[in-house]
Structure 1
Amino acid sequence: MQLPISPGKIAHIIIRARKYDADMPDAGQGRELRAFIAALNEEEQAALTAVMWIGRETFEPEEFGEAFATARAEATAPTEDYLMGIPMLSDYLEDGLIALGISLEEAEEDVDRPV
């Protein structure tokens, strides 16, 4: 399956979210994470939300299409606000990638490439 967002971008968000969770409030990580998610296009934001839902077990991996369509249809708040309000975001995204058969290590290799 071809995701509408590159695994490298998801890995980048996972890395940033982990730093954000470990960082002092207002130390800049939150602004950078928020800006990166906000800069994604609508399809990428919906795919990111769908991967998180799969990692949280709201949807099964084989229901990615349904999760993606639901994320697009129900996007009322800015995606960055919604996702950054979810505790354990990085864990859910990593679990979602794994459930979809994408290793985080392979995705992290794409982080060094331009996104």
Structure 2
Amino acid sequence: MQERSTQTDDADNGDGPSLTISPDNVCFIIVKARQFDAKDAVTEPDPGSNPADDMDAAVLESHRDDPVVEELTSFIRALSEDEQIDLVALTWLGREDYSSEDWPQVREEAAQAHNRRTAEYLLGTPLLGDFLEEGLSMLGYSCAETESQHL
């Protein structure tokens, strides 16, 4: 994944807010969050059958050792505190509780609420991918190009 610098002079010029987290990283989380959201409740806790025999239905169920959850959790935990704060702030912004002009206030509130359970909090948020995408969009970023690279 190619990193782009998002600490731009644009924020200093009033053209838009600056993000600590790379939009590419947010887009990666969006793709993974949507994979996680597509999961269904476990209907057979210990299927014991061959995935080919049950048409891979178990992959669509949310098991404790779900690789998507493990990947997302590790990825979010590996982010810096500022990047995690940006993620939470983008989620809140994307819920449309705020406007893009409120970004400094939203980010400050997210910083005050920050703790070591950011990954669990975010993964417990229904429609996380949609909220993050909307938050990015409100700040002038898009995942259109990035999403196709991760699929």
TM-score bracket for the superposition, by shorter chain length: 0.7 to 0.9
Greater displacement, 56-65 / 20-29 = 20-29
What is the DSSP-based 3-state SS (H/G/I as helix, E as strand, rest coil) of the residue aligned with 1:102? coil
TM-score, normalised on structure 2? 0.67
1:25 alignment counterpart: 62
Query: Based on CA coordinates, which of the two structures has the bigger radius of gyration?
Result: 2
Tell me, which stretches of 5 or more residues in structure 2 are unaligned? 1-16, 40-60
Query: Between the two proteins, what is the percent identity of the paired residues?
Result: 39
Q: Which runs of 4+ in 1 moved over 6 A?
A: none
Tell me, which stretches of 5 or more residues in structure 1 are unaligned? none
Q: Which has the higher helix share?
A: 1
TM-score, normalised on structure 1? 0.87
1:72 is aligned, of 111, 116, 131, to 111
1:11 alignment counterpart: 27
2:43 alignment counterpart: none
Quick one: distance in 2 between partners of 1:65 and 1:6? Answer: 17
1:38-57 superposed Cα distances (whole Å, 9 cap, x missing partner): 11110000001111111001
Cα RMSD (Å): 1.6
The higher-RCO structure (CA 8 Å, 6+ apart) is 1
1:47 alignment counterpart: 86
2:130 alignment counterpart: 91
Aligned length: 110
